[in-house]
Chains A and B, each alone.
Chain A
Amino acid sequence: MMLADAIRAETWRLLQNRTALLWSIVFVPVVGLAASIAGNLFIDDKISAVRDRLPSQLRLERGTLDLGQALLEAAGNLANPALLAFLLIGAASVFAGDYRWETWRLITARNSRPNLIMGKAGAVKLMVLAGLLLMLAAAVIGAVAKGLIFGNSFVFHFGAETAQSFGLMFLLAFVRVVQFLLLALLAATVTRSMLAALFVPLVIGVAQAFLAKGAPLLGWRMGDWPTMLLFPGDAYEVLKALIQGGMMAAVLPDGAGWRAVAGLALWSFAPFFMALWWFRRQDLSKE
């Protein structure tokens, strides 16, 4: 019950922080949607100019657009760097807010410290869920807009296999985003700084991306233990490839999936439990 209180209070407070919500979960889908519509309008304008000059027998027929496939593709692109970076704003606000506004002392007396940390993590997970759903909504609206712009007809094929792939892809994206944001929890708890909560995960993420590019120089292949344990971004890509199937999945070494799960789990649980351990012994009389 006390954990539920902590989650409810954190979530309610985050909902009042309109600026953080705008930048963390609304900005990327809305700007992405606007850019997609603008780009398609531009392309359609250029194509129309050419098409009108072609003889009628050479003009291509307008095809159909599968919204189910569009949804699946959107799920595969959810955990993109832009969304990760902007979700960090909301996460930093939740994780470091009580240090910045010196409000820990108002809430620590009536709840246990593990509950307070888990309450924050719970609120951020709900924010991530909302952000991912908004991204999906924007992708579907973008697909519909694209179809309308290019005069496509619409179909919606979403069989059991597609639904399973979609569900796994969505879950994987959720885990990857939460894993990344938990680095902000650790940074905020140790440094008591909102800036650190914002920049430490970014720096770690960028460093991991660069180092992952150089991994083949060390003889490490995608799916090997070192890449999976050191680079959670690669672990996410491996699992995504296994869900999607195709060429990349075919060249992965045996057991790559389990190693990827282990890597993501390590990078999720380690920051969380380190933050919890630190927080339990932290002097909160001076935020």
Chain B
Amino acid sequence: MTSVIETSGLTKTYGAVRALDGLSLSIPRGGVYGVLGPNGAGKSTLFRILLGLIRPTAGEVQVMGQPAGDPAVTRRMGSMIETPRYPPYLTARQALRWLALAHGMGAEAETDRWLARVGLTEAADRKVRGFSVGMMQRLGVAAALMTRPDLVILDEPTSGMDPPGIQEMRSLIRSLADDDGVTVVLASHQLLEVQRVCDRVAILNRGKLAAEGKVSDLTASGERLRLSATPLAEVIAVLGERGSVQDDAVMASIPRAEAPALLRALIEQGVDIDEARWVGADLESVFMTETSSVEGDRP
């Protein structure tokens, strides 16, 4: 697995605040990689360092084998950091044309095609001063992709979008990775969307790496046995602290190997079991688990 981004001991401080605290991370080439974390976890700081907008206080960072911020590398990257803004006197088409010129591109920028791909064809000749946040996001994504980058960094790409827009954006991001071979690194607070679109995720907390891996592995590690049974009190008595009641069922946090013995024990206790099935953890619960330990310490 070759890496497109490698960080080692990456640290960034703003006065007394450590936005990144010795972060070591390896992001593989290809696919969609999610960077998650609560506000202030260091996601945007990481992205800004990767794009060369700010310099790290300490540590190493390489993007596509070169130091971050090297123009040779940044020219192969597309990005959208937070909600992008444009000079208000420009139309959407003019904004892309301006950026194409700034990037040394001519007709090959295919601005109209990218406007169509993000669903802005009808608004192409409207001044951006009247755009909603969602439309700005779409324009930002078009600007990031127009240069045909090898690596795309998107910070909250679906922020401010309506549900159909989110779905379109998810399809676009997936097709970039699957059809165009682009590596997409994104940050989002919409964990369900991340779970649906990302292959791997890193969870940051207070500038440190809290968890990292394939989405399927992270969610599988938190799987539990869901038992619909009567009486529930008897099930809880058998499970002790490993069981909890949730929606008229008991969630048992036990290894798979222990399941047959548990079921036998429950039957012997006279418990009627209506249903027993394994339930994987969703990304939200993984996220909450990984980030809640120090949440209370937040200033």
* Inter-chain contact A101/B87, CB cutoff 8 Å: yes
The docked-state distance in angstroms from the alpha carbon of A264 to that of B132 is 47
Check: B278 CB closer than 8 A to any chain A CB: no
* Inter-chain contact A109/B52, CB cutoff 8 Å: yes
Q: Which residues of A contact B160 (CB under 8 A)?
A: none
Q: Which residues of B contact A106 (CB under 8 A)?
A: 84, 86, 99, 102, 143
Q: For chain A residues 1-24, which have a beta carbon within 8 Å of chain B?
A: 1-2, 5-6, 8-9, 12-13, 16-19
* Inter-chain contact B89/A17, CB cutoff 8 Å: yes
The docked-state distance in angstroms from the alpha carbon of A154 to that of B67 is 68
The docked-state distance in angstroms from the alpha carbon of A223 to that of B97 is 49
* Inter-chain contact A110/B87, CB cutoff 8 Å: no
Q: For chain B residues 139-158, which have a beta carbon within 8 Å of chain A?
A: 143, 147
Check: B54 CB closer than 8 A to any chain A CB: yes
Check: B51 CB closer than 8 A to any chain A CB: yes
Interface residues on A, range: 20 to 34
* Inter-chain contact B85/A102, CB cutoff 8 Å: yes
Binding stretch for chain A, among B72-80, B118-126, B252-260: B72-80
Q: Which residues of A contact B65 (CB under 8 A)?
A: none
Q: Which residues of B contact A254 (CB under 8 A)?
A: none
* Inter-chain contact A17/B87, CB cutoff 8 Å: yes
- Known A-B contacts A13-B87, A101-B85; A107 and B102 likewise in contact (beta carbons under 8 Å): yes
Minimal beta-carbon separation of A241 from chain B (angstroms): 42
The docked-state distance in angstroms from the alpha carbon of A107 to that of B103 is 8
Minimal beta-carbon separation of A120 from chain B (angstroms): 12
The docked-state distance in angstroms from the alpha carbon of A241 to that of B145 is 56
* Inter-chain contact A6/B102, CB cutoff 8 Å: yes
Give B97's nearest chain A residue, CB to CB. Answer: A12
Check: A103 CB closer than 8 A to any chain B CB: yes
Q: Which residues of A contact B75 (CB under 8 A)?
A: 109-110
Q: Which residues of B contact A8 (CB under 8 A)?
A: 101
Check: B90 CB closer than 8 A to any chain A CB: yes
Q: Which residues of B contact A97 (CB under 8 A)?
A: 87
Q: For chain A residues 249-287, which have a beta carbon within 8 Å of chain B?
A: 283-285
The docked-state distance in angstroms from the alpha carbon of A6 to that of B147 is 16
A-B CB contact pairs (8 Å), 15 listed: A16-B90, A16-B98, A19-B89, A101-B87, A101-B88, A103-B86, A103-B87, A105-B51, A106-B102, A107-B99, A108-B52, A109-B51, A109-B52, A109-B75, A112-B71
Check: A164 CB closer than 8 A to any chain B CB: no
Check: B204 CB closer than 8 A to any chain A CB: no
Q: Which residues of B contact A64 (CB under 8 A)?
A: none
* Inter-chain contact B53/A105, CB cutoff 8 Å: yes
* Inter-chain contact B147/A110, CB cutoff 8 Å: yes
* Inter-chain contact A2/B89, CB cutoff 8 Å: no
Is the contact region of chain B dominated by helix, strand, or loop, or is it mixed? loop
Which B residues form the contact surface with A (CB < 8 A)?
48, 51-54, 71, 74-75, 77, 79, 81, 84-90, 94, 97-99, 101-104, 143, 147
Per-residue contact bits, chain A 43-74, to B (CB 8 Å; 1 contact, 0 not) = 00000000000000000000000000000000
Q: Identify 16 new A-B residue pairs, CB closer than 8 A, beyond the known A13-B90, A16-B87.
A: A9-B99, A9-B101, A9-B102, A12-B97, A16-B89, A18-B89, A101-B87, A103-B84, A103-B85, A103-B87, A105-B51, A106-B102, A106-B143, A107-B99, A284-B53, A285-B53
* Inter-chain contact B48/A285, CB cutoff 8 Å: yes
Check: A111 CB closer than 8 A to any chain B CB: yes
The docked-state distance in angstroms from the alpha carbon of A286 to that of B161 is 24
The docked-state distance in angstroms from the alpha carbon of A194 to that of B77 is 30
Minimal beta-carbon separation of B55 from chain A (angstroms): 9
Minimal beta-carbon separation of B216 from chain A (angstroms): 33
Q: Which residues of B contact A18 (CB under 8 A)?
A: 89
* Inter-chain contact A108/B101, CB cutoff 8 Å: no
Give B99's nearest chain A residue, CB to CB. Answer: A106
Q: Which residues of B contact A284 (CB under 8 A)?
A: 53
Among B51, B94, B102, which residue has the most Cβ atoms of chain A within 10 A? B102
Minimal beta-carbon separation of B212 from chain A (angstroms): 24
The docked-state distance in angstroms from the alpha carbon of A244 to that of B54 is 52
Give B50's nearest chain A residue, CB to CB. Answer: A109
Q: Which residues of B contact A2 (CB under 8 A)?
A: 104
Q: Which residues of B contact A283 (CB under 8 A)?
A: 53-54
Give B83's nearest chain A residue, CB to CB. Answer: A102
Q: Which residues of B contact A6 (CB under 8 A)?
A: 102
* Inter-chain contact B85/A110, CB cutoff 8 Å: no
The docked-state distance in angstroms from the alpha carbon of A13 to that of B103 is 13
Minimal beta-carbon separation of B34 from chain A (angstroms): 21
